[in-house]
A and B are shown apart, each in its own frame.
Chain A
Amino acid sequence: MPQMTDERVRAGLTHEEDLSLLHEVSMKTAGVSRLEMCIQCGTCGGSCPAAQDMDHTPRMLFAMLRAGMREEVLRSNTQWICVSCYHCVVRCPQEVHIADVMYALKGMSIRAKLYADSTAPDFSQTFIDMVESYGRSFEMGLASRHYLKHFPLRLPGMMPMGLGMIFKGRMALVPKKIEQMDQLKKILDRAKQLEMIS
């Protein structure tokens, strides 16, 4: 890996090329990522329904991955804007598992604490906390915790919706818990250990 010597900094270089990055992301992707097969055609960036809100199109992000721009990649909001619609996945002429690469990048971004906006990672974490406590998701708990922290100003506008949901029986006020919570906990604890090792 080239070092960021003074000479390099003076020359205007902003990052160290970390050529292990591509492989690392591949290994963290569920299934076989095929990231190395990308031909930069832009099918993903063209297909993405949310591209306009992304710092980088997925294609660009993959080019940055190859260039070893670890920090820039993990700071990008692209992986957090991905809505998992799989349009790019089925259209990709090289069958890159794009959506799963995005999931892998989210995880890496959280571990490196490089995400620029905590809304999404916090939401995921809150969601998981609910699941890990009850075995089921709990919309009411999730929504109240999440909105209070991240969207206090959206709350007044959303009141009728929230009340409507409760009123129409579409929002349970108490969580449902699975019976074998201890079993699930054991499984997840072991899984987390395995994740640490790998």
Chain B
Amino acid sequence: MKKYLLYPGCSMESSGRAYRDSINAIVEPLDLHFEEIDDWNCCGATEYLGINLIPAYSLIARNLALAAKQTHPVNGTEGTRTVVAPCSACYLNLAKADYYMQERPSLGVKVNEALAAGDLQYTAGTLDVRHLIDILVYDVGLEKIRSAVVRPLHGLKVAPYMGCMLPRPDYQHRWSDHEHPTELDDLLRALGADVIDYPLTTSCCGGHMTQIGPETAFELIRRLVADADERDAQLMATVCPMCQMNVDAYQNEMNRFFGTDYHMPILFFTQLMGLAFGREPKELGIGVELVNSRNALAHIGVEVPVTQEPTAPRKKVEGLPMPRRWTKHEGRKEAVK
């Protein structure tokens, strides 16, 4: 059994809970052991970096410092220096902090000065920060994954969506390519899925723009969904809770914005792994997505139980006018005062 330190990240406890459920479901068949970092905190996403440099990196580094304490073998379990982050944004923040603290030693010194206020310390380079799919493809190996498949996903046309923060900037050179990495394709193929050629595999989902500049974000989501649809994908597979959230939860609003009618479900790759390993949809959090994957999964004979959707507000929505077009000039007055 191979042990890893797990940094789940905040969304795993809420919007990305299906990710967590499905990870739990594949741990056993793949003989993995994830030990959660004690009392980890938020990585700051892309927000803190834009406000204050040293606090942002100190916030991230607290997690690294905590993880470094758990690297030693305890009670007969083996030691490990690998931290696994299933969320691409968390992965990037942790990996980047580790890297920049070395590239620019003065940053490392200051961050450690801040950590010292909490009796913590972190030496850059102590840990190996890796993403879940990296572990699955390169440590577990496709062979082992293939042999765990009991329900091959034959006939399921999947658009492999890697997103941006995973293969880039890739200071540690972990991925096959920055633009068209093959790790997710290979893994989905190992599950028996029919992987489509998806040129937008590392294009951006909009990140936090769904919150601050919906016009920008909707266009990015439209591109992803439209191209997957154009290429006859039945669903998209993602490796990141933020990508999942944006493409799934905002697809409806995007459709209204453009007057389109896309229905492109997006599931975590681990949910598809769980299905291929024979688990039931419910255990894998399938059904909690807002763009339901029911029809897509019917192609592989998986029946997704129908959840009662809230219906009352929907009626009202139909009668409401289109939201006013948001423009970037909005709020300018406010800034002046």
Do any CB atoms of chain A lie under 8 A from CB atoms of chain B in the complex?
yes
How far apart are the CA atoms of A188 and B46 in the complex, in Å? 17
Instruction: Scan B106-125; emit 1 where CB is below 8 A from any A CB, else 0.
Output: 01001101111111100000
Q: Which of A104, A120, A171, A172 contacts B53 (CB 8 A)?
A: A104
Q: A161-B252, A168-B307, A195-B52 are in contact. Are A30 and B117 (CB under 8 A)?
A: no
How far apart are the CA atoms of A146 and B55 in the complex, in Å? 22
- Determine whether B174 belongs to the interface, using a CB cutoff of 8 Å to chain A: no
- Determine whether B40 belongs to the interface, using a CB cutoff of 8 Å to chain A: yes
Contact B51 A190, beta carbon cutoff 8 Å: no
- Determine whether B169 belongs to the interface, using a CB cutoff of 8 Å to chain A: yes
- Determine whether A62 belongs to the interface, using a CB cutoff of 8 Å to chain B: no
Contact A164 B213, beta carbon cutoff 8 Å: no
- Determine whether A116 belongs to the interface, using a CB cutoff of 8 Å to chain B: yes
Q: A131-B59, A137-B10 are in contact. Are A31 and B104 (CB under 8 A)?
A: yes
Residue on B nearest A158 in the bound complex, by CB: B253
- Determine whether B58 belongs to the interface, using a CB cutoff of 8 Å to chain A: yes
Contact A85 B41, beta carbon cutoff 8 Å: no
Q: Indicate the size class of the contact surface on chain A.
A: 35 or more
Q: A85-B203, A161-B250, A168-B307 are in contact. Are A124 and B113 (CB under 8 A)?
A: no
Contact A89 B54, beta carbon cutoff 8 Å: no
How far apart are the CA atoms of A165 and B288 in the complex, in Å? 8
Q: How far apart are A6's CB and chain B's nearest CB, in angstroms?
A: 26
How far apart are the CA atoms of A104 and B52 in the complex, in Å? 8
Interface residues of B in 92-140 (CB under 8 A from A): 96, 99-100, 103-104, 107, 110-111, 113-120
Q: Which of B39, B216, B313 contacts A179 (CB 8 A)?
A: B39
- Determine whether B150 belongs to the interface, using a CB cutoff of 8 Å to chain A: no
How far apart are the CA atoms of A52 and B216 in the complex, in Å? 9
- Determine whether A4 belongs to the interface, using a CB cutoff of 8 Å to chain B: no
Residues of A contacting B116 with CB < 8 Å?
190
Interface residues of A in 101-139 (CB under 8 A from B): 102-104, 106-107, 110, 113, 115-121, 123-125, 127-128, 131, 135-137, 139
Residues of B contacting A85 with CB < 8 Å?
164-165, 168, 203-204, 207
Contact A137 B57, beta carbon cutoff 8 Å: no
- Determine whether B290 belongs to the interface, using a CB cutoff of 8 Å to chain A: yes
How far apart are the CA atoms of A32 and B169 in the complex, in Å? 14
- Determine whether A41 belongs to the interface, using a CB cutoff of 8 Å to chain B: no
Contact A119 B14, beta carbon cutoff 8 Å: no
Q: A83-B220, A86-B165, A195-B54 are in contact. Are A157 and B320 (CB under 8 A)?
A: yes
Contact B39 A188, beta carbon cutoff 8 Å: no
With most chain A CB atoms within 10 A of its CB, the pick from B55, B287, B334 is B55
Q: Tell me how many residues of B have a C-beta within 8 Å of chain A.
A: 93
Contact B203 A198, beta carbon cutoff 8 Å: no
Contact B41 A156, beta carbon cutoff 8 Å: no
Contact B118 A184, beta carbon cutoff 8 Å: yes
Contact B249 A165, beta carbon cutoff 8 Å: yes
- Determine whether A93 belongs to the interface, using a CB cutoff of 8 Å to chain B: no
Contact A83 B206, beta carbon cutoff 8 Å: yes
Q: Which of B62, B204, B212 contacts A120 (CB 8 A)?
A: B212
Contact A163 B335, beta carbon cutoff 8 Å: no
Residues of A contacting B51 with CB < 8 Å?
106-107, 110, 121, 124-125, 128
Residues of B contacting A80 with CB < 8 Å?
212-213
Q: A107-B50, A117-B330, A154-B214 are in contact. Are A123 and B208 (CB under 8 A)?
A: yes
How far apart are the CA atoms of A184 and B115 in the complex, in Å? 9
How far apart are the CA atoms of A121 and B52 in the complex, in Å? 12
Residue on A nearest B163 in the bound complex, by CB: A85
Residue on A nearest B209 in the bound complex, by CB: A83
Q: Which of B11, B41, B253, B328 contacts A77 (CB 8 A)?
A: B328
Contact A187 B100, beta carbon cutoff 8 Å: no
Residue on A nearest B170 in the bound complex, by CB: A90
Contact A124 B39, beta carbon cutoff 8 Å: no
Residues of B contacting A171 with CB < 8 Å?
14-15
Contact A170 B14, beta carbon cutoff 8 Å: yes
- Determine whether A49 belongs to the interface, using a CB cutoff of 8 Å to chain B: yes
Residue positions of A touching B, CB distance < 8 A? 28, 30-32, 49-50, 52-53, 77, 79-81, 83-87, 89-91, 99-100, 102-104, 106-107, 110, 113, 115-121, 123-125, 127-128, 131, 135-137, 139-140, 143, 146, 150-151, 153-154, 156-161, 163-165, 167-172, 176, 178-180, 183-184, 186-192, 194-195, 198
For the A-B complex with A99-B169, A154-B323 known, give 15 more contacts whose Cβ atoms are closer than 8 Å. Answer: A83-B209, A85-B165, A86-B165, A86-B169, A87-B164, A91-B178, A119-B331, A131-B41, A150-B331, A171-B15, A178-B40, A179-B39, A180-B118, A189-B117, A194-B113
Name 21 interchain pairs, CB-CB below 8 A, sorted by A: A50-B209, A50-B216, A81-B209, A84-B207, A90-B169, A119-B331, A123-B212, A124-B50, A135-B42, A137-B11, A154-B253, A154-B326, A167-B310, A168-B290, A171-B14, A178-B39, A183-B118, A184-B62, A191-B58, A195-B54, A195-B55
